[in-house]
Amino acid sequence: MKKLLFLVLPLVFLTAACGNANQAETEATDAAESPATETTEAPAAEGVAIALVTPEDGSVPMGDAELVLQAIDPATNEPVEVEDLQVDLSMPMDGMEPMTTMAIVEPAEEPGQYTVQTNLGMEGMWIMEVKSADAAMPGEATFNLDVK
């Protein structure tokens, strides 16, 4: 009976380990097939929509990066200036707090556009949450950035 237990127990662990590996491969495949950038815009009735101008495909090289955002008045579909555009960048980490990085937001040369200077120090999917804290033009958006 003990010999049978010693034979069956390793098989159970091996089966469980192989099952988790297949799940990880499936999740990696699903992530690879998903679009690089997903946008969730939620402009207020009297607010702004926020769009990611560059990079267009959401693919960003690891390291120093410059992103360009644009605030758009949904009523006129024209770019608008906002007083306070806040950007938070984070990367979800399994079993840990998300990794975050600093973002410096400055007005760009084009009206309603803003550059975001940052350093994305790890490859993977980063989440950029953008919020207009301008009382007259509130709005927010979330973008997924694929850092390679």
Q: Which of 26-35, 45-54, 110-119, 138-147 has the lowest mean pLDDT?
A: 26-35
Average pLDDT, the chain: 80
Would the pLDDT of 29 be above 50? no
Confidence of residue 56 (pLDDT cuts 50, 70, 90): confident
| End-to-end alpha carbon distance in the chain | 53
Tokens of 77: 């579909």
Give the integer Cα–Cα distance in Å for 77 and 63.
Answer: 33
pLDDT digit string, tens, across residues 77-106: 999 999 999 999 999 999 999 999 999 999
In this predicted structure, what is the pLDDT of residue 45?
Answer: 52
Q: Please check whether residues 81 and 28 belong to one and the same domain.
A: no
Residue 25, H or E segment: helix 2-33
Please list, residue by residue across 106-142, b when 16 or more beta carbons sit within 10 angstroms of its beta carbon and e when fewer do: eebeeebbbbbebebeeeeebebebbbebeebbbbbb
Q: Which domain holds residue 89?
A: 39-147
Tokens of 67: 């992103």
Q: Please check whether residues 49 and 107 belong to one and the same domain.
A: yes
Q: Please check whether residues 21 and 45 belong to one and the same domain.
A: no
- Domain at 82, CATH number: 2.60.40.10
Q: Please check whether residues 9 and 74 belong to one and the same domain.
A: no
5 or 142, which is more confident: 142
Give the integer Cα–Cα distance in Å for 47 and 104.
Answer: 23
In this predicted structure, what is the pLDDT of residue 57?
Answer: 86
Domain count, the chain: 2
